[in-house]
Amino acid sequence: MLPVLVSFDSGVLQVTLNRPEKLNALNPEMHKLLRQALERAAEEREVRAVLLSGAGRGFCAGQDLSERDVSPGAAPIDLSVSLGSYYNPLVRRLRELPKPVVCAVNGVAAGAGANLALACDIVLAGRSAFFIQSFSRIGLVPDAGGTWILPRLVGKARAMALALLGEKLSAEQAAEWGLIWKVVDDEALLSQGMELAKQLAEGPTRGYGLIKKAMHASSGNSLDAQLDLERDLQREAGYSEDYREGVTAFKEKRPPRFKGK
């Protein structure tokens, strides 16, 4: 069985981390398959949304630690290689993908697994799921974008305590703090995640891509720069077929039929 499963239906590319016996801890093979899936999502016009989740009782336990030789005689490992080769390109790919990515966190999301979830656009979590910045427990620094996104989502005080203490944060608390979008019942998580992804797959895909661009640019921009960016992106959105369809549908008092163009 492949450690990442990919299927396509109704405009949604469903990507499932599939090493449940290791709580979907990430190894190079999984990174390769994940990267291929996201490249496919970027390239194929038919793919208009992505749904990411994990098989079994966990979402993702971060880097596979069993593959690290830390025995006394072993040479020290340069962890930057792993970040440069796998994690950083993964986070950049998710951010730059001009299509919405829904993450359904079905269980524990630890270390880079937590930050992988937070790099997605809309995060749902099952009621029993939890998030841990477990890096400090093994002497590391939050990576996969954690030190960037956490303070922006929950503020510095909470981000710092999450990173230093490496304590479990329940899905409910994560939603209350604004770390994620919503908590849903465990049994309903995948169907609700899919429903949301399908809804997005029927939306104005080009416009969504531009929304992502604007949102991501905002944290590094002044208001002036952001206003200019909105002007430029709106020009682009206004030239889309979907804008024409949206306004026509509004005038005709019917639901729009967006084509993602």
Given the rule CB under 6 A, which residues bind ligand LHQ?
22-23, 25, 61-66, 79, 82-83, 87, 108, 110-112, 132, 134-135, 138, 140, 143
CA 14 to chain centre: 13
Residue type (1 letter), 84: G
Radius of gyration, alpha carbons of the chain? 19
Strand segments (E) across the chain: 4-9, 12-17, 49-54, 58-60, 101-105, 108-110, 122-126, 130-132, 168-170, 182-184
Which C-beta is closer to ligand LHQ: that of 23 or that of 30? 23
Q: Which two tokens stand for residue 11?
A: 């405009």
For ligand LHQ, the closer CB: 77 or 247: 77
Least distance in angstroms from the C-beta of 124 to ligand LHQ: 19
Task: Return the number of the residue (167 or 236) whose C-beta is nearest ligand LHQ.
Answer: 167
CA distance 102 to 123: 6
Distance of closest approach, residue 20 Cβ to ligand LHQ, in angstroms: 9
Which of residues 84 and 238 has its CB atom nearest to ligand LHQ in the complex?
Answer: 84
Distance of CA 132 to the CA centre of its chain: 16
CB of 5 to ligand LHQ, least distance (A): 19
Comparison of 83 and 249: residue with beta carbon closer to ligand LHQ: 83
> Residue 187 phi/psi, 5° resolution?
-65, -25
Amino acid at 109: A
- Report the distance separating Cα 66 and Cα 21, nearest Å: 13
The least CB distance from residue 58 to ligand LHQ, in Å, is 7
Q: Is the CB of 31 or the CB of 206 nearer to ligand LHQ?
A: 31
Nearer to ligand LHQ, 20 or 98 (CB): 20
Taking the C-alpha atoms of residue 4 and residue 19, their distance in angstroms, rounded to an integer, is: 8
Distance from C-alpha of 202 to C-alpha of 187, rounded to nearest angstrom: 25
To ligand LHQ, the closest distance from the beta carbon of 220 in angstroms equals 24
Residue 184 CB, nearest approach to ligand LHQ (Å): 21
Q: How far is the CB of 67 from ligand LHQ (least distance, A)?
A: 8
Closest by alpha carbon to 125, among 162, 164, 178?
178
Q: Which residue has the tokens 């921009």?
A: 221
Token representation of residue 23: 């709580």
